[in-house]
Amino acid sequence: MRQRDIFNQFQQFLKGAEGEFHVLEHQVPIEIQMEYFTNSNRLRNFILALNPKFSANDLDYEQFVSELQNPETSQGDKKRILSVLAVSKQIKAYRILEKYLQSPDNALKDWAYMALMESRIALESEFSDEKQVYISTGLGGKGKKLRFYILLLSADGNPFLDYQQKVIEREFAYTLSNEDGEIEQLIMKGNHMEMFVLLPIPSNIKKLVENIMNECNQYGNFLSNAVTVTNVKRLTANEIAQIIEKHENKSSRTGF
Domain of 71 in residue numbering reads as: 29-135
Interval 120-133: pLDDT, tens: 888 887 777 777 77
Residues 6+ apart with CB under 8 A from 204: 11
Burial of 146 (0-12, 13-18, 19+ CB in 10 A): buried
On whether residue 91 sits in a domain, the answer given is yes
Beta strands in the chain (DSSP E): 20-23, 132-135, 141-142, 145-153, 182-189, 192-200, 228-230
On whether residue 4 sits in a domain, the answer given is no
What pLDDT band is residue 164 in, cutting at 50, 70 and 90?
A: very high
Q: What is the pLDDT of residue 17?
A: 58
On whether residue 119 sits in a domain, the answer given is yes
Same domain for 128 and 162? no
Number of domains comprising the chain:
2
The count of other CB atoms within 10 Å of the CB of residue 159 is: 14
Q: Which domain-ending residue is among 135, 159, 185?
A: 135
pLDDT: which is higher, 215 or 3: 215
On whether residue 165 sits in a domain, the answer given is yes
Same domain for 163 and 94? no
Smallest CA-to-CA distance from 21 within 104, 171, 143 is with 143
Q: Which domain-ending residue is among 135, 165, 200?
A: 135
The model's pTM: 0.75
Interval 131-143: pLDDT, tens: 777 787 889 898 8
Smallest CA-to-CA distance from 230 within 207, 206, 213, 212 is with 206
Q: What is the pLDDT of residue 235?
A: 94
Q: Does residue 253 carry a pLDDT above 60? A: no
On whether residue 95 sits in a domain, the answer given is yes
- Which amino acid, 132? Q
Q: Which CATH number fits the domain that encloses residue 235?
A: 3.30.70.1290
On whether residue 66 sits in a domain, the answer given is yes
Same domain for 103 and 36? yes
**Which residues sit opposite 152 in a β-bridge?**
193
